Amino acid sequence: MHVTLEQNKMEKSKITFGIILLCALLIQDVQSIGVNYGTLGNDLPPPAQVAQFLKDRTIIDRVKIFDANQDIIRAFANTGIFLTITVPNGEIPALTDIGYAAGWINNNVKSFYPATKINYICVGNEVLHWGPQNLIDNLVLAMRSLNQALISSGITDVKVVSPQSLAILQPIPNDAPPSFARFRDGWDKSILGPMLQFHRETNSPFMVNPYPYFGYSPNKENFAVFKSRNPVVFDQVTKKSYNNMFDLLLDSVHVSMQKLGFADVGIVVGETGWPSMGEPNQPHCSVSNAASYNGGLLRKVVGGQGTPLMPNGKFEIYIFGLFNENIKPGPTAERNFGLFRPDFSQVYQTGIMKGEPLLPAPVGGKRHGKRSPQPRPNPVQPNPIPPVNQGPTWCVPKPEATDAQLQQNLDMVCGSGIDCKPLQPGGACELPNTIRDRASWAMNSFYKSKGFVCDFAGTGLVTTVDPSK
């Protein structure tokens, strides 16, 4: 009898241990919560403190940086946190040379691997959106060269990707469902097809940066920030309903991939987020909306939720961003995407801290298949207009703005949803080809389309004189 009791205890212990292990594996499987760690701030904590904080205090298990900062790479060694590093856009042509690619891998990966769990290398950032054409033409070649350098170094579990903005999609009406989506003509078969073929061959994901924030409209605010309970968009072709814009954007990418024959390639969300502060005429840039949007993302990841067309998809999602960055160029919103302040205090609660509950899902009426816009308790007006009686205005660089500042402005604008194709070779605004002229066009385009905001970290100036004359 004594032996039987001991055996019972042992069996119960095994079962208990098995349940705990299974739960741990399940949590690990669905929790792929990443964050973009930007460094455009002069008050940010040292990388070692950042890495320790994320490991000890948060549920974040992966981080993405916009360069290959070796202090940051070193700081994440032995933390168990996955790290994505980035090759600057300007190095893309050089990477097509296998010798250069091998040197890059040796200096920025092999020296730190495997103590630092590097899982992705981003070849540039939103290259198709920003250009210029020589970077676009060399992009897939550079990805292949870098991947070959990894394999030659004996590293087989680091994947090569290249994050793209949703400017890769052919423009369609805002209310169009995913079944209408397709990749832009000219990029679909010449660039994106070969890129997706590379991803299929290397079993690596296609990385995209969907931002419902850039598709904001006052009558769709709830839809944009995960506040809609009822469906807002119904796709007559697929018979799928959408109650949030994030799912709609991801399924639009999936449909576009499917139309090229690459529905089997996985998708990773490289950037997405919502600012907690903006200009006085941007009330949608608020703590409430930022918490609702990022809280909705966390519910999706932790709950292992897919999308209507990819119901079993468990997506890696990298929230933008980790900190508010006080010297980032552009409007106020660009400096206020952070989950945390530089002192590690939360800007708002989302459930990102260990032991902190997730934000509850919105409650509402019964689901149905037709479009059902949700009322907004505090409606806001559409984009504001310039002051009355002032006449036409333009946003231009201040005379004292440096080329480095203007290049940052140019990069920010072309990465924010503004179509910068007119600046590319053969485009209507290709010439004059100076940083100041190109930045002037970009800043004014942003000014006209994003609510007449012309700050750009103090480098912008509103004028009544047409700069094109």
In whole angstroms, give the CA distance from residue 442 to residue 410: 6
* 271 noted as active-site residue: yes
Q: In the structure encoding, which two tokens stand for residue 245, read together?
A: 């814009």
- Helical spans, DSSP H, in 282-418: 287-302, 403-414
CB neighbour burial string for 382-405, b if at least 16 within 10 angstroms, e if fewer = eeeeeeeeeeebbbbbeeebeeeb
In whole angstroms, give the CA distance from residue 83 to residue 316: 13
Whether residue 178 contacts residue 309, with contact meaning beta carbons closer than 8 Å, is answered with yes
Q: Which of 11, 91, 126, 325 is catalytic?
A: 126
- For the four alpha carbons of 133, 135, 139 and 144, in that order, the dihedral sign comes to positive
Residue 133 CB-half CA count within 13 A: 10
Whether residue 277 contacts residue 333, with contact meaning beta carbons closer than 8 Å, is answered with yes
Whether residue 273 contacts residue 288, with contact meaning beta carbons closer than 8 Å, is answered with no
> Dihedral of the CA atoms 448, 284, 213, 237 (nearest 10)?
-110
Whether residue 248 contacts residue 173, with contact meaning beta carbons closer than 8 Å, is answered with no
Whether residue 61 contacts residue 30, with contact meaning beta carbons closer than 8 Å, is answered with no
Quote the radius of gyration of the chain (alpha carbons, Å): 23
In whole angstroms, give the CA distance from residue 221 to residue 284: 8
In whole angstroms, give the CA distance from residue 147 to residue 101: 9
Reduce the DSSP state of residue 408 to 3 states and report it: helix
Whether residue 446 contacts residue 438, with contact meaning beta carbons closer than 8 Å, is answered with no
* 126 noted as active-site residue: yes
Whether residue 112 contacts residue 150, with contact meaning beta carbons closer than 8 Å, is answered with no
> Dihedral of the CA atoms 446, 448, 454, 457 (nearest 10)?
-10
DSSP H or E stretch at residue 207: strand 206-209
Q: Which of 271, 316, 325, 334 is catalytic?
A: 271
Match 């909705």 to its residue by tokens.
296
Active site residues: 126, 271
